[in-house]
Structure formats: structure tokens, C-alpha cells
Amino acid sequence: MRPIKLAFLCSAASLLLFACTGNNKSNSTETHQKEIIEKTQNFPAGTVMLIVRGKTKLSEEAFLKIAKEREPQFEATPGLIQKYYIKTNTQGEYGGVYIWDSIESLKKFKESELAATIGDAYQLIEAPSTEVIEIMFELRP
């Protein structure tokens, strides 16, 4: 992974990648999706981290079962270097930390059917928070 000059953070309010309602996208969601494209136009090439957190009424066991069922689809996603499944300290909040080879791969994923089904698959009860972070360098290559 090559060093990158600038760390870039987008707030969850301005960077909504996934709709809780799956394919029932609202104008607000479409506006947010357009904003990410605009905000990342000048994003330097390099490795990017996406952190997604969402609340669900699913139990941890149910969440893990769904995650395991969807695992092959994520493994086959172009440009996805790694995905970590996470549980936060907030009751019912789970998420994913995605490591992408480039912002272009992240943008393509955002437009995919797999991304569009995240909210429905995990029965999210509100829009997830998202954060995109440019990785400057890694400790252990």
C-alpha cells in the first residue's frame, strides 16, 4: 500500500451510501448518493476505508448468520481488499469496516445490487452511519 498525502473524512450526514428501505430509494437518498460522487471527484487514488454502522432488532446470532450467508458475495466484490464485521457498544448496532483498493471500487460497489440490499438484509431500523477515510499508510505491510 503506498502512502497517501491527505486523510479525508466525510460526515455521516453528507455521505449516505445505503438506504434502510433497500430498493425504495427516496429523493433524499438519491441526493446523498449524488453528493458522494461529487465529493469524491477529486479524492486521490489509493486505499480507502469505509465504516458502516447500523441499528437492527436482529440478535447477534441472527446478524452473524446473515453475514455468513452473504460472505461469498462480498468475497467476490472487485476492489474489496478486506471486510471486518463489527459489533459496537450500542445495543443492536453492528456494522462493517471495508478496505477498498480505490475510491473508484467503492463507488462501483455503492451502485451494486449487493450494496442496495444491505438495509433489508440486516433489517436496519434507521439509516446507517457511514464514514469514508483515506488510508495514509499501514503499520505492517
Where do the domains of the chain lie, and which CATH numbers do they carry?
A: 27-134 (3.30.70.100)
Residue 31: predicted pLDDT:
56
Cβ contact 106:15 at 8 Å: no
The answer to whether the CB of 82 falls within 8 A of the CB of 1 is no
| Structural contact between residues 132 and 50, judged by C-beta atoms closer than 8 angstroms | yes
d(CA 110, CA 102): 13
Spans of the chain, pLDDT less than 70 = 1-45
The predicted structure's pLDDT at residue 59 = 96
Three-state secondary structure call for residue 95: strand
d(CA 91, CA 72): 27
pLDDT of residue 33: 53
- Which long-range contacts does 32-37 make (Cβ < 8 Å, 24+ apart)? 33/110, 36/10, 36/107, 36/110, 36/132, 37/107
